[in-house]
Structure 1
């Protein structure tokens, strides 16, 4: 009988639709990892938080709303990062563009998340969606 991993730590914060929110989400995550003394690929985690938060602001957060960042570390050593947005639209996994133009300002965020995280995906939320990624923690 396999027991489900237990949550050891969770943290959550809400951010307004504001450019500064990406920086604040990154700092919130950095502080949580330090408090939890999680031995993890911190730079990769922070880059993924930045990309998911930026995508939420650009594509998933209508004016007057915001997004929620949820962090969870479980007893199996998995850090899960979730960004909950409230935008309308179909619920499907955002597709990273395979080869963004060298001049393009965007189109690489989900490619980075897919390359850096151990897992990632999207889930339903009403309204909006949850885009998540996971990292295995060492130690």
Structure 2
């Protein structure tokens, strides 16, 4: 099954996208949000995008965000300093995804990532709770 959503890249669209993807796992929603936020930050508010979530033949979940600018390719900046105000989105994506990349075309580009599987519908989909340390 493929989910395809067309939106204008605005800050308001980020939580709306997460809501529309509510039947997908937490990491799918997080990666889609980060990719949409990159469009807002690097191409500007109001950029039309298409978000796709599909299952691959190998059982992975692929998240894609397509925008109309073939020039602005994502670049993973390492290391991100503690005081940096940006630059963590792709580092987060890189740590969660099995693989990610960008496909350029004359009419735009698609930035994508693939995640290992996904919990079945109805399963707990929140991130793991950090262990509490008692002193």
What TM-score, normalized by structure 2, do the two folds share?
0.76
1:130 aligns with 2:110: yes
- Determine the C-alpha separation between the residues in 2 that align with 1:48 and 1:12: 15
Contact 1:60–1:88 (CA<8 Å) still a contact in 2? no
Distance 1:14 1:99, change over 3 A: same
Aligned residue-pair number: 119
- Determine the C-alpha separation between the residues in 2 that align with 1:80 and 1:95: 19
Q: CA RMSD in A?
A: 2.1
Contact 1:60–1:128 (CA<8 Å) still a contact in 2? no
Structure 2 portions without partners, runs of 5+: 121-135
- Determine the C-alpha separation between the residues in 1 that align with 2:20 and 2:63: 12
Q: 3-state DSSP class of the match of 2:2?
A: strand
1:19 aligns with 2:1: no
1:89 aligns with 2:89: no
- Normalized per residue, the structure richer in helix is 1
Shift of 1:134: 0.6
Q: 3-state DSSP class of the match of 2:22?
A: helix
Contact 1:123–1:131 (CA<8 Å) still a contact in 2? yes
Structure 1 portions without partners, runs of 5+: 1-8, 34-41
1:58 aligns with one of 22, 29, 41: 41
Q: Which residue of 1 aligns with 2:99?
A: 119
